[in-house]
Structure 1
């Protein structure tokens, strides 16, 4: 009987020690390596700093439980993210970014919209690589609702233009729509007049091919009448008048 009790005590002791070791390791092992994928608007270091800002947040066990049981941290321009553990101290963060094609200025904020015209984000700073769209008339803007354009028929033109720019891997600072819906692109000191939106593919393609030669030069580039099928309908580059934006 005594031997049985001693054996039970040993089993309990071993189990208690094992549990204590496991708890100790769980509470002391920290995330030391973070790999981030799917991120374009943030660097790997920025994402790591947002998700693991202090020593406690880097604890592997707490990080695992928090990721499973709590709502994810809200990150501007990020739809959601996943945290995958590849080891006690190794995690991979998969970022699913919101798709934005442009933004408008509204009440001291920048309102970003997606390809469907839905306002997906509000921010106080301009996002690099996303064009500001000016010259539009719209009503009250509400987050997660469609941009209330006075001329809704102009949005397909905005989408087509941003898609063509993306396909040509071109970044512009601003897209302006004039009183008669004529389009002007702003790239640094270069102002590009595209006219009323016709033949956009050829115009943007030609502009893209000219950019290396235009680097460092300012002025107004006239592409309103450019037609790839008609070599006579070309383009001209003129200097800006003093005081012209």
Structure 2
């Protein structure tokens, strides 16, 4: 009888040790082999991977799951948040939720990026491709996560409208400038485009899209401020640099 009890205890002990050993093996050797990144525009998949999976320890499935569910997420510039979804013990999908950014201003040696409401969402030491530099705005002290202190808050609606149209027409610009009267100008390499007021902006940008092949390799200013969609005859001009 005693031998039977001892045998049972031994079996239970061996079972417990085996479970612990198996758990330890899975914990230390269950590594994420494949990472898929979605929702990313400002960063490549490789960059997102380097932010979140810097070493073999962070690629451990158990550690990754624990950190994602119970720890604060990594702070990544221009990323609001992210979610890690396990599609298998060895594969994950990182879903990235980027901050909405429509432009940036230069301030005291840094580049401050703002959203459609004029809220400064990020301060960065470098310019990010695909986001226009907005110049000509008058503002005072700037603080992160606060609205840009401009005199005319309606200018952000105009910036949003303009940048959305540029994106829709796949037009990349280096700079968007607003003068004291609220007139907008674009800089695209050696070509400047004077758009004027926000009136009929959709037609102006459509016309600019049509003129891009003609403007390639030129240096000068295209005046679209006189554009009138009601007229059938072209009512704008291009002035070459002397």
- Normalising by structure 1, report the TM-score: 0.93
The aligned residue for residue 208 of structure 1 is 209
Size of the alignment, in residue pairs?
241
Q: Determine helix, strand or coil for the equivalent of 1:80.
A: strand
Shift, 1:96, TM fit: 0.1
The aligned residue for residue 91 of structure 2 is 90
The aligned residue for residue 167 of structure 1 is 168
Q: Deviations over 1:74-129 (max 9, x none)?
A: 00000000011112221110000000001111111111111111111110111111
Q: Deviations over 1:196-236 (max 9, x none)?
A: 22211100011012212322322211111011221335221
The aligned residue for residue 69 of structure 2 is 68
The aligned residue for residue 125 of structure 2 is 124
Q: Determine helix, strand or coil for the equivalent of 2:141.
A: coil
CA contact (8 A) 1:84 1:93 kept: yes
The aligned residue for residue 5 of structure 2 is 4
Residue segments in structure 1 that go unaligned for 5+ positions in a row? none
In the alignment, the residues of structure 2 paired with residue 191 and residue 114 of structure 1 have an alpha-carbon distance, to the nearest angstrom, of 25
Q: Determine helix, strand or coil for the equivalent of 1:56.
A: coil
CA contact (8 A) 2:218 2:240 kept: no
In the alignment, the residues of structure 1 paired with residue 155 and residue 70 of structure 2 have an alpha-carbon distance, to the nearest angstrom, of 44
Q: Determine helix, strand or coil for the equivalent of 2:176.
A: strand
CA contact (8 A) 1:139 1:150 kept: no
In the alignment, the residues of structure 2 paired with residue 36 and residue 159 of structure 1 have an alpha-carbon distance, to the nearest angstrom, of 27
Name segments (4+ residues, structure 1) moved above 6 Å: none
- Normalising by structure 2, report the TM-score: 0.95
> Alignment RMSD, CA only?
1.4
